[in-house]
Structure 1
Amino acid sequence: MRAIVGLWRWRGNPLCRRSDRREAWLALGAMILVVAVAPFAGWLGASAAHSALLDSVRTQNQARQQVWATTESVQNRAPLDSDPESAAHQPDRQHVVAHWAGPDGSSHKDTVTTREHVQPGERFRLWTDAGGMPANRPMSARTASSYAALAGLAAGTGAAGLMEAGRRLAMRQLLRRRYALWDAEWARIGPDWGRTGSNS
């Protein structure tokens, strides 16, 4: 932005070099691209993610359903094959041994996790897949929208980052060329530096 302001302020100044103008135009072009392309990339990413997530929501709702499970015993400790970190972050969950009938009528028995605090003999609702095995609650449309918004934000930020990286690479090339011109100019006049009338 400073390069653009500087170009406008010094546009008629004979000390404004061609490299300065190129730098300012590069900054202006990058800013226009970020303002125009990054939001569009974010919208495309959010739309694509939202469509995919809604398909996943429909698939999960079709494949999973709730059944009634009966508690046989309550475990005070999490099962050995469970993740201890996730169990520590879920103090409101209870591990129980329960049996239930799957959607096809088959009988199942396993250690499951429930948010309800139940006692042996009590019933609770359990999500299962088409085979009757325990499954997570299907994703809601609201959760899908939140994830899609995050995906759009990531896409927009990534696009802006790529364009900024491109601008920096182009600026590096401009600076290298500027330094090369300075070196060539210094090599031309350096030996005569300080000699009165030596370059006349």
Structure 2
Amino acid sequence: MNGTSGRKPGDRPGKPGRTRRARKARGRVWLWRWRGNPLRRHDDVVEAWLLLVMWAVILVGGALAGTLAARAADQEFAHQRADRHPVAAVLVTDVPQTANGGDAYRAPAKVRWTAPDGTVRTGRTLVETGRQSGTKVTVWQNGRGTLTTQPPGPAEARVEAALFGASAALALAGLVYGGTALARWRLDRHRYEQWGAEWDLIGPRWDQKTG
């Protein structure tokens, strides 16, 4: 038996070795700012730290900001469910199907209801269209007796809280990424200025050697 007995048909000799070398080379390219070499400058090290801090803040800070925002939103929705209650009301005005300012199902209308302190109040809120004056409807009021909207249920609140958390995380990521991009742009400007100054010194010598 020779050394190629365990090789499948079509396999190329040395292919796994080339793959490992290619992966290692790609790793060196990605980490060149952290490796000591004569071409690396101070600005390159600063840029490497900027990228490291950027990803750390995006990952850790984004997760923290998203969690805090989602928790705060969930607590607010829970407070709304505890504070807002349905109450029976009576329509004071008609709500035709073509009511101005409303959508196909709900439109603003004037209603009369009894507040928690026993006083009779009137106000405007969204009700279903097609109702006539005197029709009994259900509206929502808070602990102060003011008309308000129906609070989101537990399932809907979880979804909205998750959206708030994701929005907070994305906003932080965008802010950090934009700040890092601006800092890298300034570093590039500084590098170009350095290269231009060095070429002004070396360029004439190079022309003399090649002339």
| TM-score after normalising by structure 1 | 0.66
2: CA distance between counterparts of 1:53 and 1:131? 17
For each residue in 1:176-198, what CA deviation from the matched residue of structure 2 results, as whole angstroms up to 9, or x when unmatched? Answer: 22112212211212233321389
Correspondent of 1:57 among 77, 81, 93: 81
Deviations 1:115-136 (A, max 9, x none): 2754565533333456766443
Deviations 1:48-68 (A, max 9, x none): 232233223322x2xx43125
Listed as ranges, the gaps of 5+ residues in structure 1 are none
* Aligned equivalent of 1:168, options 181, 184, 188: 181
2:198 to 176, 185, 189: 185
Paired with 1:27 and 1:130, the residues of 2 have a C-alpha distance of 50
CA distance in 1, matches of 2:34, 2:119: 82
Q: CA RMSD in A?
A: 3.8
Residue 88 (structure 2) pairs with residue 67 (structure 1): yes
Work out whether residues 33 and 44 of structure 2, in 8 Å CA contact, stay in contact via their aligned partners in 1: no
User: Which of the pair has the greater relative contact order for Cα pairs under 8 Å at 6+ separation?
Assistant: 1
Identity %: 27
Offset at residue 104 of structure 1 (A): 4.2
Residue 5 to residue 27, structure 1, CA distance change in 2 (3 Å): farther
1:28-39 alignment runs, 5 A limit: 28-39=52-63
| Alignment length (residue pairs) | 184
CA positional deviation for 1:163: 1.9
Deviations 1:54-88 (A, max 9, x none): 223322x2xx431253x566343537xxxx2xx1x
Closer/same/farther in 2, CA of residues 7 and 24 from structure 1, 3 Å limit: farther
The 5 A counterparts of 1:42-191 are: 42-59=66-83, 61=84, 64-69=85-90, 74-76=94-96, 78=99, 84=101, 87=102, 90-93=103-106, 99-108=112-121, 113-115=126-128, 117-119=130-132, 122-129=135-142, 134-191=147-204
Farther-moved stretch of structure 1 (99-108 vs 173-182):
99-108
**In the TM superposition, what is the alpha-carbon distance from 1:164 to its structure 2 partner?**
1.1
Corresponding residue SS for 1:190: helix
Cα 1:103–1:21 shift into 2, 3 Å = closer
TM-score of the two chains, using structure 2 as the length reference: 0.64
